[in-house]
Chains A and B, each alone.
Chain A
């Protein structure tokens, strides 16, 4: 049990589909993050939420839509994606305001856009 759970583990979707990725943490953290991990590229920060409020949108295309209904849950809604969006999407959490102890990560969702 990692403390951060991501579902689904794998997802294949067409470019016209709408799907959602889910992240859940039971660590009492109040900051949550979405990262994109593509082959041969550094991890790219997508979104940051502190106490359910979005505090960072790292120039992410609008076809990615995050949602944070509470401090324990984070969603990433996907629609009309492109093949280049295929990647591993990682969710992480930390204590807000610090992050000095690093993040706790989930195991990611492997997304393939066909």
Chain B
């Protein structure tokens, strides 16, 4: 079974600075998808960014980018120019091809942004 591990329960960053959230996963599959979700206090999980494992190029969405290291099974999220609105829980998720549509989530990292 796939597992997703987020080793940082909490992180903090100064406003306008850059922060990196870590995620590792365990799988025997070669083709899969990875996601980062943000859950603000409003509770709704919002998709931040996705990565297709067969693509070597790291995904980027505005201030959010990933460092995808397939051999190391690592998928970190970098947030540049952090804003107060970035404060939230961040969840890494894995979607393989052998488990239907199902996503497996990590335990989450709480990001605090200091003004």
Contacts and interface: CB of A to CB of B under 8 A. Distances in A.
Partners in one complex: yes
Interface of A: 2, 31, 33, 40-43, 45, 48, 50, 55-56, 88, 90, 92, 94, 96-108, 110
B101 A50 contact: yes
30 contacts: A31-B101, A33-B102, A40-B107, A41-B107, A42-B4, A43-B105, A45-B102, A45-B103, A48-B101, A48-B102, A50-B101, A55-B100, A56-B100, A56-B102, A90-B43, A94-B101, A97-B101, A98-B101, A99-B95, A102-B33, A102-B47, A102-B93, A103-B45, A104-B47, A105-B45, A105-B46, A106-B44, A107-B43, A107-B44, A110-B43
A50 B91 CA distance: 24
B49 to A, nearest CB: 10
Contacts of A96: 101
Contacts of A92: 45
Contacts of A110: 43
Given A90-B45, A101-B50, A105-B45, A42 B105 contact: yes
Nearest to B50: A102
B106 A102 contact: no
Contacts of B43: 88, 90, 107-108, 110
A99 B50 contact: no
Interface string B3-37: 01000000000000000000000000000010101
A43 to B, nearest CB: 4
Contact of B91 (A33, A43, A94, A106): A43
B50, B52, B101, B106 — most chain A CB neighbours (10 Å): B101
Interface in B73-115: 91, 93, 95, 100-103, 105-108
Contact of A100 (B42, B46, B95): B95
A56 B101 CA distance: 10
